[in-house]
Amino acid sequence: MRVLSDLEVGESGVLVALDLPPGVQNHLMYMGFVPDARVKAVHRAPAGDPTVYSVDGIEIALRRETAKAIRVQPKVVERVAATVSIEVKVEQELVEAAR
């Protein structure tokens, strides 16, 4: 488990919990930051703060302090699938080269 601010640009995860004051939490939940929603880090400001996140078709910029209070489960499955796909392709190329 990680916090939202730890996601690198391009990484995504599944929202687990929002550890924020009720007013802020309700505002973010209204915009789609709800448990089990998929969230992706889209863009980071040149100075590193804020970061733009995409959730449920909405893009929202959050300051690092707010993003640190949002827990996510990183999407590892996509990375594993991509790695396996690359390994299979390399293996196929090696078989072809050996012929």
pLDDT tens-place string over residues 3-44:
999 999 999 999 999 999 999 999 999 888 998 999 999 999
Q: What domains are defined for the chain?
A: 2-98 (2.30.30.90)
Residue 64 has pLDDT above 90, yes or no: yes
Residue 39, pLDDT score: 94
What average pLDDT is seen over the chain? 84
DSSP the chain: -EEGGGPPTT-EEEEEEE-S-HHHHHHHHHTT--TT-EEEEEEE-TTS-SEEEEETTEEEEE-HHHHTTEEEEE-HHHHHHHHHHHHHHHHHHHHHHH-
* Greater model confidence, 75 or 12: 12
pLDDT above 70: residue 85: no
pLDDT of residue 72: 95
| pTM of the entire predicted model | 0.71
Q: What is the mean pLDDT of residues 48-71?
A: 92
Distance CA 20, CA 26 (A): 9
